Amino acid sequence: MPPHDPAPPSLDGVRRLLVIRHRAAGDLLLTTPAFRALRMGLPGRRIEVLVARGLGELLEGNPDVDSVIEFDRRALGSQLGLYARLARGGYDLVLDLVSNPRSAWMTALTRARIRAGYAIAGRDWAYTLAVPREPIGPGGPTLRYAPEAALDLVRGLGLPPRGVDLTFRVSPRAEESAKRGIRAAGLDPARPFFLCLPAGSWPSKTWIPERFALAMDELAEEGSVVWMWGPGEQALAERCRGLMRHPSVVAPPMGWQEMGGWMKRAAVWVGNDSGPKHVAVALGLPTVTVFGPTHPTTWQPPQGPHRVVLADGLDCLHCNANDCPLPGDRHMRCMRDVSVGRVVDAARALVRRPAEAS
């Protein structure tokens, strides 16, 4: 096992970097402050990012990334091609921001002189620099905004952070596509419109569809309502539209870039703790997020026009369980105890008028 030297390694001779972040979309966006710190701390170096298939759009136009490598974790051919590419070497520095068994092995496969990851038993053998995933205080792990974890690896290299703002650029192509989609949906350009994504990546952090519909019905008196959806979620969006009294629109199918184009023209984003919420944050769109099993300190930006709505007085909040394990009346209380009125009030307090949207 190589020694884990707590002193920052020498970055002399570093010309080509690889950052491994091949997981969820939101996690990738929350890593963009680390890309910025690397770019500013190591100007002129080539920064490549390894992501899961379909997530490259999130880094399109990002000034802190030179190249994106996409691979399909479920396709053997894609994996073998990636492993051969990594084994050919050529990287001077690799940052493993996932640090699971597979990503640790991929990091080691590069044979880069500097290999940084998190100090997790059974995985840190792959790294020449291992740092704690999270600081530990007297009461256990210290909660922080999620980008700080990636920035810890940057700090371990001896480079300073450059803020925690997220970066997402919308291409001109996506801007035009969004404009056409908005016109085709018949939205009144003089009225604000609300984007609502009722789906969630975990069952336990998904607010009740009927309540999303009730909240959007109230907001429909002040603006148009657009239901957003991703793969496998269209039926839920259609169901929510069908539950409303007022007319609303189900958005057409779109990728991350076009979603960003819609967000740039919206008044408020409303939904669960999810990847698209972080796109909205990166673009400066006001957000209202219903929280339950996840903690807003970690997944909500510390500043900006963003509101958290969560149930009061539950000792089971922030359990991080994908599925609620509690029986009977306690099941999903963190979602069931969130009222429609609180979500509506939060959204009304943040409405961005059409003249303010870009």
pTM of the full predicted structure?
Answer: 0.94
Which has the closest alpha carbon to 22: 71, 76, 65?
Answer: 71
Q: How confident is the model at residue 218 (pLDDT cuts 50, 70, 90)?
A: very high
CA torsion sign for 141, 320, 350, 277 is positive
Q: pLDDT value at position 278?
A: 97
For the chain, give the mean pLDDT.
94
Q: Give the distance, in angstroms, between the CA of residue 36 and the centroid of all CA atoms in the same chain.
A: 16
pLDDT more than 90, % of the chain = 89
Q: pLDDT value at position 73?
A: 86
Q: How confident is the model at residue 355 (pLDDT cuts 50, 70, 90)?
A: low
Q: Report DSSP letters for 235-298, one per residue.
A: HHHHHHHHH-SS--EEPPP--HHHHHHHHTT-SEEEEESSHHHHHHHHTT--EEEE-SSS-HHH
Residue type, 13: G
Q: pLDDT value at position 71?
A: 93
Q: Please report the domains of the chain, with CATH numbers, ordered by start residue.
A: 16-156 (3.40.50.2000), 172-356 (3.40.50.2000)
The answer, yes or no, to whether residue 4 has pLDDT greater than 80, is no
Question: Which one has a higher pLDDT value, 5 or 212?
Answer: 212
The answer, yes or no, to whether residue 3 has pLDDT greater than 60, is no
Q: pLDDT value at position 113?
A: 97
Q: How confident is the model at residue 268 (pLDDT cuts 50, 70, 90)?
A: very high
